[in-house]
Structure 1
Amino acid sequence: LTGLSAEVNEIDLDNDMQYNSDEFDDEATYRDDSTFVYKKHADSVFTARIDSKTSDLVISGGQDDIAYVWSAFSGETKFQCDGHKDSVTCVGFSHDGVYAASADLSGLIKVWKVETGKEVWSFECSDIEWMQWHQIAHVLIVGTQDGDTWMWKIPSGDCKTFQGHGFSAASGCLMPDGKRLCVGYENGSVKVWDMKTATCLHHVNGKDIHSSSVVCLDCDKDNNLILTGSTDATAKVIHSTTGKVVTTFSCIEENSEDENSVESCAFSYSQSSLAATGTLTGKLNIWDVPTQTNRNTCQHTGGVVKLKWDITSPLVYTACLDGVIRLWDARNGKCCYEWAGHQDALLDFDVSKDGKTLVSVSEDNTARVFSLHKPDS
């Protein structure tokens, strides 16, 4: 499940996931900064994405085996994505908002025509780890627990398969050039695939790889570097052309007995020299890539589930197991804003393309819409 810890991944998602209630701050728990609360889901909500074309429509999926497409502005449900056999853990809109996809833990993928709410395509594979739409085409990509990565044209279903090597395809990221795909595997290795020929350009393995599963990936906007995060509590920077590991960022805490892993990682959009990692122990680290140094460390009261850079400024959003969304200034490590309202652990969030709206989902069975405010950069 993208953005969740390895600890959470090992739990049966059809049972309630439990977190330490001490992680929740009383003031934050009872303060609600959201502009709207979506309450259609009957169980934990695992994932949500905002349509990049409209910055309004949201698709959310949850443990109730259902996905919904709804409006962040009005709260109206546009349609319900029925027919799933298990928890819906992956959702997303195509680049132009024509299609929406939903996928569940059993491996069933469905694609819906947004305008009509009608199902136009479906496929069943092994348990799904992650899903991503292509940036400029009606192409859907999925990584599975059996190690294979699938790519389909929608709605024709024309297919290519990127074969694994016996380990789960735990994470994936389509590079900005739209021509290469990076996949991180359960054994700590990374492959760079050619999308057109389905051939492996680089297999990053051996002594330089992670010692355990690669749970998050990102690529810089210039298509040169790949950032990986692992359950071994390290992040690595890999050169996409040579397949060589440039550096390793250690997020290991000395003298700590707490389980730790890098849950989320990303390069900055506005300042290519910066990267960020978020860990299960609640640390957001800002890294200076050229000098390979830790620029700032931002401490949370609970584990960081997901992070996302602002598109236009060196600011980072984080979602935390304490139920709070935070905005950090990467330049000085200070927290600029907090948005509270959820009554349980956050599991995912997304920010609209226009930067005005954030939608978060939680174990409290809700999705919440927040109006964003940013400090002057």
Structure 2
Amino acid sequence: MSRQPQDISGEPLGLLGAITHLSLRKRAIVFLATGLVALLGIFAATQINQELFPDMDFPAITIVTRFPGASPDAVAEEISEPIEEAISNVEGLERLQSTSADGISLVVAEFDYGTDMEKREEEIASSVSNLTFTAGVEQPVVNRIDFADFPILAFTMYGERSQAEIDALAEDVVVPALERIDGVFSVTITGASERLLVVSLDPERMARLGVTADDVEKTLEENNLSTPSGFAIEDGKILPVRTEHQLSSTEDVANLALVSAAPTQQPATNSPAVEVVPLRIADVADVGLEPSPLAAIARTNGRPSLAIGVFKAQEANTVEVANEATDTLDRLEREGLLEDVETAVLFDQSDMIEESIDALLREGLFGAIFAVL
């Protein structure tokens, strides 16, 4: 018959006293168990994704629609109000608000926490895709509010090269290298210059050949097809799908046969057959490329620059992806691919995450030391 442990006064020990008594008698087992738990904790800590923001599903969906050149009143009447009416009966909708500004509409649909936001997003995207907008309105973009919409790393590129050379370097070298990193979802560029294809009509040639501006416009519309065809779901995001047949060069545009153009004179019925060569856009207009106004401007140390943002996939580790991205930039510099170009980091989530983890480990270590003492 085993005897219950007692204190110095002969009274039986309580639960905590019994545990302490057992620990003192079995020191080797206690040390082994403590070491095993510590090792398991260290291993688990290395496997956890390190994130700056928690993985939260906000109960809100945004619908952004652009209408270049339109006034706020026109945006509200042609876009915001039809969208509000189309999605007002979505199940679980708590509040619907819209903002109409010059050339853009923002509609926000709010739901209760716990709502199946993926299903609501599909319903809203389906309702919006069935709407028919006036000419000039771009396809609405439907998105859930997500911390993944913020870049984990943002940096600028600037230097002694021309802006066009820096643009080409970013698009042809830097962005492809970053996109090849495992865990990178997308890479965006802000401040890059773009060129617009401009068709300059010649009134004299048009009058002589009997061509109108409507003829040219109809020709361009029918040969540069871009029409909405519904939507697709990829990585939890609703993406609009369009059927496109795009013209790829100024020569393609200049050589287009005018749809409704006709010779100014018809041959007599008794005249021999004459091959009629269709008129081209180049016969009535000059086609070329011109710099477009920048939608966004980036400057670093007073000089024009590019701002590049790196976005990670939802399941990727922020610290690992950000560190790999900075290592990639260092490698490009060592290989001489960024000659006469400097990069400056604007924002790096991994730095803040590592600082937070270091502070947590430091405080935990101090706590353990004081507990032992």
TM-score normalised according to structure 2 size: 0.21
TM-score normalised according to structure 1 size: 0.21
Q: Which has the higher strand share?
A: 1
Higher RCO (C-alpha under 8 Å, 6+ residues apart): 2
Q: Which has the higher helix share?
A: 2
